[in-house]
């Protein structure tokens, strides 16, 4: 309804409803967020209740970040952060640098592709090989690593956005 075509409508209440794509984006964000929360909580509980030895630190940290990332996705509209170009650059830098830098050194994590002598990637092995053989890239672990580093990038993005918000409030007050 519009105040222009219906004079009885108050102009303050004359807001446009979100478009289809904005609604789709919000719904997808909420679905992924709640799914991440559920997976994070369940896998943390299972790993911390492990009967055979100590929990794998990388696995626990991965699911903690998935839980935090899911909570942030669900509460993104409430946070109302506007990261600006600096926030987007910082978040993207964490994502790209995290995947690339974590894939450089060889690791000896408990999880993933134990059959190979040389393994790379954190928290999950994404590239592995035996001496003198071709590299094996695991697409599922690569997606999990992208999710992990993407959520860490989201944490950085929101940190930049909230610090900008606090700084702008201090400028207005001061």
- pLDDT per residue as tens digits for the range 96-151: 999 988 888 777 655 666 666 677 777 777 777 777 788 777 788 888 889 999 99
Domains identified in the chain, total number: 2
Q: Does 89 lie in the same domain as 39? A: no
Domain end, chosen from 79, 102, 121, is at 79
Cis bond upstream, residue 50 (ω within 30)? no
pLDDT mean across residues, the chain: 82
d(CA 8, CA 111): 65
For the chain, first and last CA: distance in Å? 41
Determine the structural domain holding residue 104 and report its residue range: 81-174
Nearest-CA neighbor of 71 among 153, 147, 155?
155
**Taking the CB of residue 95, how many other CB atoms lie within 10 A of it?**
21
Q: How far is CA 127 from the centre of its chain?
A: 21
pTM, rounded to two decimals: 0.76
pLDDT in tens, 10-39: 555 556 666 777 788 889 999 999 999 999
């Amino acid at each position: 309804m519009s105040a222009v075509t219906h004079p009885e409508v108050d102009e303050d209440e004359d807001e446009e409803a979100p478009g289809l794509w904005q609604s789709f984006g919000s719904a997808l964000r909420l679905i992924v967020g709640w799914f991440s929360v559920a997976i994070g909580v369940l896998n943390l509980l299972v790993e911390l209740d492990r009967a055979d030895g100590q929990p794998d630190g990388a696995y626990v940290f991965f699911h903690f970040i998935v839980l935090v990332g899911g909570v942030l996705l669900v509460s993104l509209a409430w946070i109302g952060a506007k990261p600006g170009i600096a926030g987007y650059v910082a978040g993207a830098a964490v994502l790209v640098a995290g995947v690339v830098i974590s894939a450089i050194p060889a690791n000896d994590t408990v999880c993933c592709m134990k059959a190979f002598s040389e393994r790379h990637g954190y928290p999950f092995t994404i590239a592995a090989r035996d001496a003198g053989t071709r590299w094996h890239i695991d697409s599922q672990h690569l997606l999990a690593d992208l999710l992990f580093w993407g959520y860490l990038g989201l944490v950085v993005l929101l940190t930049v956005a909230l610090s900008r918000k606090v700084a702008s409030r201090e400028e207005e007050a001061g």
